[in-house]
Chains A and B, each alone.
Chain A
Amino acid sequence: MSAMNLTTRRWISVVATTALAVSLAMVSGASTASAAEVKGGTLNFYTHNEQVAALDPTNMYTGRDIALYGTYIYRQLTSYKMVPGSAGTELTGDLATNTGVPSNKAKTWTFTLRPGITWEDGSAVTCADLKYGMSRSFATDVFNDGPGYARSWLDIPVLEDGSSAYAGPYKKTGQELYDKAVTCSKDNRTITYKLSRSVPDFNYFASYPAAGPVKASKDTGDKYDLRPMATGPYKVKSYKINDKLVMVRNSKWKKSSDPLRKALPDSISIKFGMNEDVRDETDMTDQIPNGINMDGLQSTNTPTYFADPTKAKQRLNIVDSFVTYLSANNSAGHLDCLLVRKAVFFAYDNQSLIDLAGGLKYYGEMGDNIVKPNLGMDYIATKGNIHDPNFKIGGNPEYAKTLLAQAKTACPDAYDRATNPAKGLKYYRPDTADNKKSAVIVEAALTKAGIVIETVYKPSGSYNANLTEYKSQTDFLASGWAPDWANASTVIPEMWGDGCCNYTKNEDTPEYAPFSAKIKKALVELDRKKQAKLWHELSQYGMDQYWYIRTVFSKDQLTWGSKIGGFQEWKIMSTPIYNDLYIKK
């Protein structure tokens, strides 16, 4: 939390010392360079990763990539305001003149393009390009690593096997269905999306490159990833996996058409495949003053770097957008007893686990919700759980025993399974050295409370691919989640409802039906404040069920070189505000 305060204070300080016009422009999301900002130079990024997870807009799905490439080479219909603080969680028009106009109870959304927007070849960005761009999401024979919202929401029938009746722009099967769902005005500047249900936050999805334009004549299918077309202030000059991605100024980009981007550096270079020790040493000794570490430091180097007073202006310790959690299997024959789940919750030694992972300062703090405070109005500090007077971060085995004693009569089968040495609970984990260390802590803490647990190690390489199978067999499953945009609609339904990643197996419990009904209500609620209130109620309900044994609000550390200016946190993205970065003289 201290990091957020620091960022906020810094922002307030900047605003207070900058001309009124500048500050007003910043708050409104517009791009006006401050006096200190310098144009020119090369901005260097470096990373241990071998390549961009996906440079093709249709497959792009990680927050950092969307923030970085969405600032430099892609423009979307909408964008988050590129400003620090909570204002940075608000949407604004980017390619579109506004954040979209919903109608028919948000079953129809309309966006109008700004005039003067061009591709890097100088041709105009049109509605047809936007329509074609989104159509690529349906070509699941080519792209399926990106967000699937277009397939889920557009008013296009779904076949029995769960696939869409429209097969994308290459095969063109069902093209007429897509042409009905997405239409362009005669002047080719206004696009209308017809959805199968009310989606009040469709305009948030419009901030994804996957909903952005692609020029059909320049589409190279799978190979587009290596050389996409730019609409933003920079274009790809060269991209070689495991080597470098170099972006240079897009001469066809017009500042007059873009109220958001400043385009300060002359070029931007990303170095891939840097050894982690080399990367950390580069940071520690400021070898690349105009460089930014994209990964953060290794946990062994983080405390040293953050204790160094000379690095005080080259680091941020932020609460990122991730929640790491341990879900309980609520299905029959597993942890289908609230008292047993609570016993495990109170017995858990969270302090030792967090210490092992980097400590409260750098790894994260105990959470009281699956929605994080970063999400603004959708977060509420829930009651109970970590706020319960019996909760101790190092574990409270005595209280856990009293809960188990109650479970013995209330739900004897679950009690027997949790305490009988011949049965016991199972915890499937990837077979890694770190997990073996943490298993010792978990087993010791639960044993103290009289709970029998066995850690079952599974091959780490195939663990994630087998989660669907494992979730039915294990009693616990650890994972993490970050929202797709600033609305709990991309958290609660996904984690506890019928979304992609509900590992709690709660769907057959009696508590699920009213919960699910309320989720459906929240998803189509058009009044944002009322919707937030519904999310609060759902958060509290889920936490009261102890569907999750623990949630941790994780942290991240950002470090950069001494010649980098304008480094501030973009709260919604958990990244720097790339738009503000410049090279000091």
Chain B
Amino acid sequence: MLKYVTRRLLYTVILLLIVSFTIFYIFDLIPVDPARLICSKQCTPALVEANRHRLGLDVSVLEQWWRFLQGLVQGRNYGEGGIKDIYCGAPSFGYSFNRHECVSTVIADVFPTTLSLTIGAFVMWLSVGVSLGVLAARKKGKFADRASNAFVLIGTSLPTFITGILVVLFIVLKFHLVNPLELGDWKNPITDPIGWLRTFFFPCATLALAYAATYTRFTRSNVLEISSEDYIRTARAKGLSEKVILRKHTLRAALAPIVTIAGLDFAGLLGGAIITEGIFGLSGLGKLSLTAVLQTYDLPIIVATTLVGSAFVVIMNLIVDIAYAYLDPRVRAE
């Protein structure tokens, strides 16, 4: 088992290295010159060169990447000579001259928002999706099933950018539930749970809606499929009550794949929920990435947010794989 985990950890590191180099390489290919973009309207070639040097873009892609890796391990000074006191300690993802901060500080600053949003939405979609799915399966063909079908239809056909705008305009603002100036404010859920709920309930609900609909459908079909298995019929024949059959036999089997998928969805969202964060003005990883890609061409931010997002997915995959390997020795053997 230890050998398997070690091997997978090694693969994970190699994968993240490849991802990081690919970002540098792609950024170099894009026909945009960040050095020129941040030059004033009285720009001269000398100023562009000064910018390029300051941004660390005056060396080859390989050299840029190598410096990045060095920063990750041992920290790094940014700018040379003229810029005062710019040192980012390890693990340094770089320095954002656009935001005037070390990227690791920026990430640490926005990550709680994304984490709050993701955990809140995760709890909502799992509890709503699984409950509705089980209910729909047990009441197959009845009103509850048809109502859950309607929910699934609405949830999956409404894109988040529509749901979000509808929620914020016609619920949040219409009924003065949150002051627009407080939309997106970060509140610590431990020290200020009410404040957190006011700010994060609606974004979480918006994000959870589409996922909850999918999970309702998935749970319903899984429960129905498992319910028709021979061992369930046997349990029923032995005289077990429907509640016991559901709790002890059906759900255990039906939820295993759901938990796996939920883990991966959770990891994907930790990389940032761009649309929801944008609509509710949440300063999270998704919004940070979007601004860096579309507006500021802030390479250190782009590299860091992509790496963080990738790392979550890869690590969650690793955890799932380890779990499977633990449960199924055949996976280890492969």
Residues of A within 8 A of B (CB): 44, 46, 50-51, 61, 139-142, 144-149, 152, 161-163, 167-168, 170-171, 219-223, 225-226, 240-243, 269, 271, 273-275, 277-279, 281-282, 285, 287-288, 291, 459, 461-462, 464-466, 500-501
Interface contact A465-B32, CB-CB below 8 Å: yes
Complex Cα distance, B43 from A25, in Å, reads 41
| Residue interface bits B42-85, CB-to-A below 8 A is 1, else 0 | 11111100110110000000000000000000000001111111
Residue from A148, A223, A240, A465 within 8 A of B85 (CB atoms)? A223
- Chain B interface residue count, CB cutoff 8 Å, equals 57
Q: Does B156 contact A (CB under 8 A)?
A: no
Interface contact A141-B183, CB-CB below 8 Å: no
A172 (CB) vs chain B CBs: closest residue: B82
Interface contact B82-A167, CB-CB below 8 Å: yes
Interface contact A465-B46, CB-CB below 8 Å: no
Contact (A465, B37) CB under 8 Å given A222-B83, A269-B181? yes
What are 28 A-B residue pairs whose CB atoms fall within 8 Å in the complex? A139-B82, A141-B54, A141-B80, A142-B79, A144-B38, A144-B39, A144-B40, A144-B47, A144-B51, A148-B42, A226-B101, A240-B109, A243-B283, A273-B184, A273-B281, A273-B283, A275-B281, A277-B165, A277-B169, A278-B281, A281-B169, A281-B180, A287-B180, A288-B181, A459-B31, A461-B32, A465-B32, A500-B43
A291 (CB) vs chain B CBs: closest residue: B181
Contact (A281, B99) CB under 8 Å given A141-B82, A287-B179? no
Residue from B33, B38, B180 within 8 A of A145 (CB atoms)? B38
Residues of B within 8 A of A (CB): 30-33, 36-47, 50-51, 53-54, 79-86, 97, 99-101, 109-110, 165, 168-169, 173, 176, 179-181, 183-186, 278-281, 283, 287-288, 291, 294-295, 297
Complex Cα distance, B169 from A140, in Å, reads 45
The 7 closest A-B pairs by CB, nearest first: A221-B84, A148-B42, A141-B82, A170-B82, A163-B46, A465-B36, A462-B32
A285 (CB) vs chain B CBs: closest residue: B173
Interface contact B46-A278, CB-CB below 8 Å: no
Report chain B residues within 8 Å CB of A51.
99
Interface contact B40-A50, CB-CB below 8 Å: no
Interface contact A287-B168, CB-CB below 8 Å: no
Complex Cα distance, B45 from A257, in Å, reads 43
How distant is A330 from chain B, measured CB to nearest CB, in Å?
21
Complex Cα distance, B173 from A288, in Å, reads 11
Complex Cα distance, B42 from A395, in Å, reads 35
How distant is B275 from chain A, measured CB to nearest CB, in Å?
10
Most A CB contacts (10 A, CB to CB) among B41, B169, B287, B295 go to B41
B277 (CB) vs chain A CBs: closest residue: A273
Complex Cα distance, B180 from A271, in Å, reads 9
Report chain B residues within 8 Å CB of A220.
84-85
Interface contact B280-A275, CB-CB below 8 Å: yes
B110 (CB) vs chain A CBs: closest residue: A242
Report chain B residues within 8 Å CB of A223.
85-86, 100-101
Interface contact B40-A147, CB-CB below 8 Å: yes
